[in-house]
Each structure stands twice: as structure tokens, then as C-alpha cells.
Amino acid sequence: METHASTLLWRHPGCQIQQGRCNDSAWPATAPQPLAPLVPAMRPCPRTDSRHDMPAPHATQEASTDRLLLVLDLDETLVHASEVELDRAADFRALSYHVYRRPHAERFIAYALANFDVGVWTSSGRFYAEAVVAALFPPQSLRFVWSSERCSISRDWTTGEYLNRKRLKKLKRDGYRLERMLAIDDTASKHAYNYGNLVCVREYLGEDESDDELLRLMAYLDRLAHEPNVRTIEKRRWRERLSLAMP
Ligand SMILES: [Mg+2]
């Protein structure tokens, strides 16, 4: 969604709740734990037949394996949507929005689908979410697509602001375990109830064509893929930790 760099608030498509900008240091620390050794090589897991047999992509699917579940945000994480066209043509349109893919989004999505269970949870509206998902993901490749209706609204008593929160524990009823679940999101406040599951990415505003956040994220996820409990891993400043760990 179009955002102005000088403001601290912005509005997501189809959502009336304003959200604070992501701050990589804005949430409590989890107990620091060393990263697992670097996985020697990415081992793509071919899709199973059962995945191909999945019904409509927007129906919640029961977890069938202990693969890590990625809960992906859309706006400013995988795409940037604007009511007005930027200085270049949009990659696609969703409702009335001009939508720009984040650099390397297609590669990241292919990587994610090959290695993890993947769902989308955006605090934007349902119809916008469905349009963006249809443009980004292969048909029936997602475990679920959740939008603002699934968010919980809570009030920040410091600012008086109402905020959308994504309570990941709602996914437990579908067989997913919090210990094997990661949220990829540019807005930390959305995950105030599950900071231990959050990998906060830098927001993408559609302008930086050299943005390599998703490439870095792939390298980081390789390291978390086999962690029995991702909630115990300190994930703040993950880029710096990744750089230090790389040879
Ligand atoms: Mg976002």
C-alpha cells in the first residue's frame, strides 16, 4: 500500500486499522540461542500428490507433516500495492491497486513452496488478498489464505490506536504447532502475541529494485528449517547474525 516515508502510519488495502512501522528492535527478546549449523545444501522437497489434490486454496488445510509452516504477509513483504502508479508499470492489478512484486519474490515463493508448508495471512481485505494470491502463487499451492477477518483487534493503550494482530495460535486447531511455525512480516506489532515466531523483514515500498531481502531470507530460513522449536531462536537482527555466520 502506498506509504509516505515521512509518516509513521499507513493503511493497508481493505483495512481500516492503521499500523505502526516495523522496528526490528521493538519487541522483547526471546532467550538467545545459537543458530544451528548451516544446512549444507538446500534439499528441495518435491510436492506430494496430496498437495496436488488439495481443494480450493483458500480452505484451511490440516497439517500433514512436521515441515515448518511459513505464514507469509503480503503488503510490504512480498509486494507493494499503490492506488497510484509508480514511475513504472505495475506487475499486475488487484482490485483498483497497482501491485509491484518485491525483487526475487518469484524465486522466494518457489523456494518456500518446495521446502515448507506455506500459508498467507494478511491484514488486508479478503478480496484484495485473493487477487494478490492468485497472481503470486500457483493454484492450490497454499495451505490457507487468511485476511483481516482472521485478525484480532486490540488497542494500544499508550497511543489509543487500534491494531490488527495475527494470533498464530489460531492455527493450532488445524494441527500446526507453534514450535514449528514462522511468521514472515514487515510489521512486528501484528505479532505482538507471538514475537517468538516472527522473522521481521524490511518493508518494501516498490522503489528499491536492488532490494535483496528475500534472498537473504532464504539463506536464513535454511538455518531454521530443522530447528525443533523456532521460538527459542533469537531472530531479531537476523540479517546481521546471518552475515556473521556466513564464511
Ligand atoms: Mg505488511
- What percentage of the chain carries pLDDT values higher than 90? 65
- Ligand 1 geometric centre to CA of 247 (Å): 31
Q: Is the pLDDT of residue 197 over 70?
A: yes
- Ligand 1 geometric centre to CA of 75 (Å): 4
Q: How far apart are CA 140 and CA 144, in angstroms?
A: 9
* Burial (Cβ within 10 Å: 0-12, 13-18, ≥19) of residue 2: middle
- Ligand 1 geometric centre to CA of 93 (Å): 18
- Ligand 1 geometric centre to CA of 189 (Å): 10
Residues in the chain: 247
- Ligand 1 geometric centre to CA of 74 (Å): 6
- Ligand 1 geometric centre to CA of 201 (Å): 9
- Ligand 1 geometric centre to CA of 160 (Å): 21
| Domains within the chain, CATH numbers bracketed | 61-245 (3.40.50.1000)
- Ligand 1 geometric centre to CA of 49 (Å): 32
Q: How far apart are CA 110 and CA 76, in angstroms?
A: 19
- What percentage of the chain carries pLDDT values higher than 70? 73
- Ligand 1 geometric centre to CA of 77 (Å): 5
Query: pLDDT by residue (tens digit) across 212-242?
Result: 999 999 999 999 999 999 999 999 999 998 8
- Ligand 1 geometric centre to CA of 46 (Å): 29
Query: pLDDT by residue (tens digit) across 47-68?
Result: 333 333 333 444 455 565 689 9
Q: How far apart are CA 217 and CA 183, in angstroms?
A: 12
Q: Is this model's pTM higher than 0.85 or not?
A: no
184 close to 77: Cβ distance less than 8 angstroms: yes
DSSP lists the bridge partners of residue 4 as: none
Average of per-residue pLDDT across 30-52: 38
Whole-number average pLDDT of the chain: 81
Cα–Cα separations (whole angstroms), residue 70 to 135, 192, 200: 19, 17, 13
pLDDT for the residue 155: 87
- Ligand 1 geometric centre to CA of 184 (Å): 9
- Ligand 1 geometric centre to CA of 36 (Å): 28
- Ligand 1 geometric centre to CA of 52 (Å): 28
pLDDT band for position 246 (cuts 50, 70, 90): confident
- Ligand 1 geometric centre to CA of 237 (Å): 18
Rg (CA), the chain: 17
- Ligand 1 geometric centre to CA of 236 (Å): 17
Does 56 or 155 have the greater pLDDT score?
155
- Ligand 1 geometric centre to CA of 40 (Å): 31
pLDDT for the residue 244: 82
